[in-house]
Structure 1
Amino acid sequence: MPHPYELVLNFRSKVPKSQQPQRSRSGCFNCRKLKKKCSEERPSCKSCQTKCIPCVWPSSHIKSMPKDYKIPPQDPILVRRKREAMHAIRKILPKATTLEEITKVQEAKLEACELELLPSTPTTIKKDPETPDYRALDLHSAGRVQPLDELGLLLNDTASINWDQSPFQQHQQDTTNIDNENDPVSLSAIDNYEDQLPLWIPISTSRKETFITACAVGLISALAPQYTHPLLHASSTWTPFVKMNPIIERVTEASGCSFIAWEKPDLIPLAEKKYDLAFNELFGYIRTHDLETKDHLWLGAAFQLLAVGSKTVWTFRDKRRIDNLKGSWKLIKARIAQTESSTSTSTSPISSLGISNISPSSSTSSKDDNSPESPPRGNFDDNTVASDYSNENLKMEVENSLLRNEYKDDLASRFERGWIEAFIYQYGMLLLIDDVDVMGLPTPFEVFSLVRKRIKRPLMNCDIAWMNHPVFGASFDAFELACKASYLMRHLDHEMTFMAAHKLYDVVQSYQLPQIPAEVVNNPESFNRNRDSALMSEVMLRAVKILLRKIINLRLDETDIVIQRDLEAALHKLTQITRCGQVMGISSWPLFILGLTAIKDEHRDVIIEGCMQYGEVCQARYIYTLIDTLEIAWGMRGDTYTTARGLNILLETEILDRLIL
């Protein structure tokens, strides 16, 4: 008889153990290869439908996946079929207003899904002969088309402008059509171009319409990265001009082609060709025609689209961006002078305001401008303190609350807000890497003294006053300080640089960070997007403080305790911003400054991740020039021009000349 202790030690339960669950082997080979759950829907599972790849299933004699099995590439027929289905849904969705129409939309979705489940057999793709309505596009993020609620108001504003088309028609007849549709170079550059486009771009009747749609859907949306009022968004203020006349239409086509070239490098030769044609035709029209003040709208849109497109094409030429920015600045000064003068009329010629000198070869500097509001060139002391910024922001909040949903501003005023801010951003990117005095552009002290009062005025009643800045949001003041600090960095030999840097440093130290009101916190969508804007403002202020500290004491390096403290604080805020959020579209400048001070691997990883997010949001291949410069500053690669590291890269003009921001 066994001892009782033996029964306890050698206890064996009579209940059988539960069997281990076995993984299902009935999925497709592609999901097995990726080691992911398969929906097991025949003839094509959900994962293969999303990737547009043929779905391979085990046969009766081959049930196990071969060891050397490789996932097949994308099927062009499936790609086109999916794009057709997405395009069909997009055209029906904005029309669903009643219960019956919503039911029809749901049926269309089911038909589209059934279309994707069909076997991959060659079929003839039917294209919609209707031209897309570009004015109905309202994208707050690339690839998502939403109906514009204020479309009626927008169309009324556009129709109220009396556009004189006779000069454009005459210019179109005089200009030879050098961009022929049957050009063998153009056709060979985009052979089967529909198969090369991203899935979110809808199919149009021609490649010209497709490129224009890509510009309206993607590039123009990136011009206003902030969460703003729908009537202040770029899709509401810029899109109505994309087909206003043949000149701006060619500019839009070139910009759209260069935008698509981000994902499809095969389109780069065609994008370069179209950009050159649009640039030469725009400046040729300016030289041969008398311009009027009402032309500043479409001319401003053309200049800014070309300025952005000059960075998007593969063979970047900085002079093209400078020429476009010089043209925009002349138009901005003329527009401000016209609105402030009581004697000017809407039909006065622009040539009377000095705009007839716009040309690629023009080197006219703003030094000749005798405007009483602009300080003389070289005067760095603008007598601005931190309390001035706080008072202006408080005044803007009060004016914003008094508007009470009154839309008293027309399309021209709303467009000018985004146009001027887009110019300031592109102009500010040049200040750190080029000398604007040599290029013929004004100093940032002149620019902000002229446009600040015009920008710091709310146009629409928004949740927060800074939402009236479609490009900068809460970072307008921070970017102004960044522009002035960048200019001082390029003029270290000036006698006023040290004193001006000290004043700006005091402003940054005592600047009141933007705060989100309590009533906005209860709205999750508005709170999250405005929170990203406020975080970006603090990140930019930290970068400005680091740059000013370097200007004040050139002997400091990135190991300084204060600099490292500001770096950690800035990166902590940067990691809280929504991944690939639209506010990352203005993050290249602070990422560069913060990257030069990063000495830890974990900090450098955050900077590289931020650079990749910026490139994804803006579709910008030139972000790799920033990464290459940072790798030189980190000592990860050698360079024949310099042995400088860290913040000392800012003193090496040979390195900065190859940087594109």
Structure 2
Amino acid sequence: MSEKSYQKTKRRRVSTGCLPCRKRKIKCDEGKSDCANCIKSGVLCEWTLEKQTLEKLTKYKIIKNKNKKTKFINVTTSYIKYQRSQITLDFLNSKSKNIKEINSNNNENNLENRITAIKSTHFDNSMDIVTQNYEDALFRKYLQTIGERYFSKFNFMVNKFPILGINMTNEELKLFDAFSNGFMVAISPQLAHENLQPSAVVIPRGINNSALRSVFYTCGATYLSWNNKELRSYAEEKYQNSLNAIQNHLINSENIGGNEDWLLITMVTFCLREKYQCHDTTRNGLFLIASLEIIKYWINIKKTCKMHSMNECFVDDIEVSQYFDQCELQSKLHEICNQLSKLTSIEQVNNNINHTFISLKTSDDKINSSDLELVTKDDIFSEIDLYNYDISPFERTMIESFLFNYSVNLLNFKPELIKYIDSPFKVFKNLKPFLKQSIYKCPVRWMNNPIMGAGLPAFELAAKSNWLRLQYPLNEENYKTATKLRNLAKYYTSPFLPDTVKFQLTPGVQRKLMESCYVGNMTAMASFILFTKIIYPNCDSYNEEIQDALEIYFKNLKILSRHSQAGATCIWSLIIIGLVIRKKKQLDYLLYRVRTFGEMKKSEALLRVLCFLESAWESEGDSWNILLVRDGFKDLFI
């Protein structure tokens, strides 16, 4: 080869990016852990820190993965087989040390600076770690295709049918795209039936609803503010505009019949948004209270219709009942929105706002013996449906989304708000009939539970442990209740894959289906530890039972891939476990997992957890005792 031709070849080489892109001499978007080119081409995206000479690139071979459709996932790309690589402890320790050094250079009291420093530190993808994330990247791509389908339909309607009066500016299109391809993907944790995925039930309802689209724009802007502080104030302004639109609707409408769907979407979605905006935990509580009021209205209507379905003479009574329920619900939501409008600035947040609701009834903290029944693996995933309430995919997904956020947020629910929300003993009892139905025939029954999946019974334990923590110190009745639930948590077992699944589905799909089982085991062990602390407050964290629970927890955490979509559902258990561990190696590994989950989700809430756990570890005293401090988690968004 002549010197001239060699120089020409050298100029064409791509000096940055993943190995497959450099080999193919195409520009890489350098997306971690898998770039767009590799996902599109179905090849293994590999990275290295070593300098690549022309000779090395020539010898490098791109690994092509065969595409294979599954019977229940309608996407052209599918999961591939790969050999899990082991992450060495030295590698994890070095990364954790780097973060700690950065944190130490910042003012300890300046949480924002610490989080910014963490965001600027990126883990490399050396040592074949990228091979662990290929399946996760394909799953996220699958989730994006769901949102893109409805987004394309929306664009078609806007362009072909201008008479509908649906207009979007370029700015709004960008925010809509960030919402559907970013925000909605990030909050979708499970491999569930396609029609139950959050994107499938939420996005279509915003096509013809301008108020709901403004909610989408708000969440899209918040998602984009991950590394752009300027967008945070812009996103907050969009939020206030959306809230004003809701208030105007509640004031100007004679009744809200027929609008419950988009109002519930708004409340649940804004609750999820707070994990990105991290403005005020009071908002979370108000959003959850509003969501529960809407859901209770749904349930009352369904139960009333079922009672009188065989007696036509009661039809008029049902309609009258619905009318008064609508008026009551409208009044409650209006009050809640008024309180939310007061929480729009830092100055107002720092003031102690007195949350007094005229139309909201205070809940009864007393636990009835009839409410102690727990959803177990055997009854929630049995082949016999004991209930036959009709429920739509939309209702299933929204109820379960509320229930998950309600369960974990009880850990730091504001004392002035807790009296306005029902206890998990009552909530789970009332919602259980609407969670057991198999809406679709799937390879495993928990694919009908799109948020908590197989871990649904474990999150019930988490909710009840949070609630009993708020009752500490326990009276005799609560002590007996906590003891029973502690035993259920200790001996919790997750469901197993049926043999038909093991023989018919690819190993990659099986791993995705098992993720909620791992999360369920982790959540149950964290619940066991919290129950132990509130029952035996003087118990040492080196207790044998506590250490056994930690061992089970880490065993499941290590199986869960570092960029798993299910990582967002681990935030509650990560907090509990982080306050109990006493071994430095375990802490380093836990912080590493919190960091990678937060980076993948672009969730500031997870990074706040990281800072919280580091501070708890470095502070004097036993961090294990924070579990009993009522406001010990007040700055966390769970």
What TM-score, normalized by structure 2, do the two folds share? Answer: 0.68
Counterpart of 1:504 in structure 2 is: 485
Counterpart of 1:392 in structure 2 is: 379
Task: Find out whether 1:544 has 2:521 as its counterpart.
Answer: no
Q: Which structure is larger by alpha-carbon Rg, 1 or 2? A: 1
What is the Cα deviation at residue 332 of structure 1? 0.4
Task: Find out whether 1:442 has 2:417 as its counterpart.
Answer: no
Distance 2:31 2:434 in 1: 48
Counterpart of 2:612 in structure 1 is: 629
Counterpart of 2:540 in structure 1 is: 557
**3-state DSSP class of the match of 1:556?**
coil
Task: Find out whether 1:327 has 2:314 as its counterpart.
Answer: no
1:293-343, Cα deviation, whole Å (9 max, x unpaired): 3211111111111111233225x1222222222211111010100111134
Counterpart of 1:659 in structure 2 is: 636
Aligned with 1:283 (options 236, 247, 270): 247
Task: Find out whether 1:232 has 2:196 as its counterpart.
Answer: yes
Distance 1:443 1:599 in 2: 33
What is the Cα deviation at residue 29 of structure 1? 11
What does residue range 248-647 of structure 1 map to in structure 2 within 5 Å? 248-313=212-277, 316-342=279-305, 343=315, 344-345=318-319, 348-349=322-323, 350-358=325-333, 359=335, 360-361=337-338, 363-364=356-357, 368=361, 376-379=364-367, 381-382=369-370, 384=372, 389-395=376-382, 397-399=383-385, 413-435=392-414, 438-439=417-418, 440-495=420-475, 496-522=477-503, 523-524=505-506, 525-634=508-617, 636=618, 638=619, 643-647=620-624
Checking the alignment, whether the CA contact within 8 Å between 2:455 and 2:516 is kept in structure 1 is yes
Change (3 A) 1:32 1:288: closer
Distance 2:16 2:270 in 1: 45
1:254-305, Cα deviation, whole Å (9 max, x unpaired): 1111011124333222111111221232133223323333211111111111
Change (3 A) 1:328 1:588: same
Change (3 A) 1:276 1:295: same
Greater relative contact order (Cα < 8 A, sep 6+): 2
What is the Cα deviation at residue 455 of structure 1? 1.2
Counterpart of 1:222 in structure 2 is: 186
Change (3 A) 1:443 1:51: closer
**3-state DSSP class of the match of 2:438?**
coil
What is the Cα deviation at residue 33 of structure 1? 9.1
Higher mean alpha-carbon deviation, 544-553 vs 303-312, is at 303-312
Counterpart of 1:209 in structure 2 is: 173
Aligned length: 489
Checking the alignment, whether the CA contact within 8 Å between 1:307 and 1:324 is kept in structure 2 is yes
What is the Cα deviation at residue 423 of structure 1? 1.1
Report sequence identity in percent.
Answer: 22
**3-state DSSP class of the match of 2:626?**
helix
**3-state DSSP class of the match of 2:298?**
helix
Checking the alignment, whether the CA contact within 8 Å between 2:190 and 2:452 is kept in structure 1 is yes
Distance 2:176 2:449 in 1: 26
Distance 2:442 2:172 in 1: 37
Change (3 A) 1:447 1:625: same
Distance 2:457 2:625 in 1: 26
**3-state DSSP class of the match of 2:604?**
coil
Distance 1:551 1:284 in 2: 45
Amino acid at match of 1:505: R
Distance 1:216 1:34 in 2: 27
1:450-480, Cα deviation, whole Å (9 max, x unpaired): 1111112211111111111110001110001
Change (3 A) 1:348 1:553: closer
Checking the alignment, whether the CA contact within 8 Å between 2:285 and 2:417 is kept in structure 1 is no
Distance 2:192 2:14 in 1: 42
Higher mean alpha-carbon deviation, 229-238 vs 519-528, is at 519-528
Change (3 A) 1:614 1:313: same
Checking the alignment, whether the CA contact within 8 Å between 2:373 and 2:429 is kept in structure 1 is no
Amino acid at match of 2:629: E
Distance 1:419 1:332 in 2: 9
Distance 1:235 1:346 in 2: 34
Amino acid at match of 1:351: Q
Checking the alignment, whether the CA contact within 8 Å between 1:584 and 1:613 is kept in structure 2 is no
Higher mean alpha-carbon deviation, 527-536 vs 471-480, is at 527-536
What is the Cα deviation at residue 429 of structure 1? 2.6
**Greater percentage in helix:** 2
Distance 2:358 2:496 in 1: 39
What TM-score, normalized by structure 1, do the two folds share? Answer: 0.66
Distance 1:435 1:148 in 2: 36
What does residue range 161-172 of structure 1 map to in structure 2 within 5 Å? none
What is the Cα deviation at residue 647 of structure 1? 1.4
Counterpart of 1:116 in structure 2 is: none
Amino acid at match of 2:367: N
Change (3 A) 1:365 1:461: farther
